[in-house]
Amino acid sequence: MIFCAATNNQGKLKELRRILERAGHTVKSLRELGVTLDPEETGTTFAENARIKAEAFCKATGLATVADDSGLCVDALNGAPGVYSARYAGVHGDDDANNRKLLDAMQDIPADKRAARFVSAVCLMLPDGRELTVEGECPGTVAFGLTGENGFGYDPLFVPDCVGLPDGSTAPNTVRRSYAELADGEKDAISHRGRAMERLEQALPAFLGE
């Protein structure tokens, strides 16, 4: 199947493409499709925002569209930055500013109170109006500083509880590497987006057969 990946975030596009193509699908970016929409994300949940984006880009392209809305939810901050993760510091997509604000907000939080989770809602919208939404989570903690280069957003600050292994299983993250220190395979097996996409792939045959 050919999917439109409804994101202008190159990090998300890379992950969506890697996961979907590994499952045998073809992924077209918004740039490849010549689409420049910027739908307003007015939802109060990740699922609502994912649906808004999937619907808008599905109508614009006429293709089955996959949209993700995701973010970091920190227990000590009552779930913030949550759905505002990408614009936490005020400017959408300013990773450096967002990370600085999060570190400032967490500066007095001790190590045992820094629990957090990445959440991803993925919505598949078909041109005939059918839709399927799945979610995935990855629990972990917020680090005291940024480490790693293989990631985007809050990846350098997020330490997942587990890491993926070559056989697809997981193991405790005893070395406490950040998301941005993991190789692609190590991250895909435990990531919030990877788990959501796995659920999407599992549900896809029955959904398309309806």
Are the beta carbons of 79 and 118 closer than 8 angstroms? Answer: no
Are the beta carbons of 138 and 195 closer than 8 angstroms? Answer: yes
Helix (H, G, I), strand (E, B) or coil at 132: strand
Q: What angle do CA 34, 200, 60 make, to 5 degrees?
A: 25
Positive or negative, the CA dihedral 179, 183, 185, 186 is negative
Positive or negative, the CA dihedral 180, 182, 184, 185 is negative
Are the beta carbons of 2 and 180 closer than 8 angstroms? Answer: no
Catalytic residue among 68, 69, 155, 188: 69
Residue 94: active-site member: no
Which tokens hold the place of 138? 């990855």
**Enzyme catalytic residues:** 69
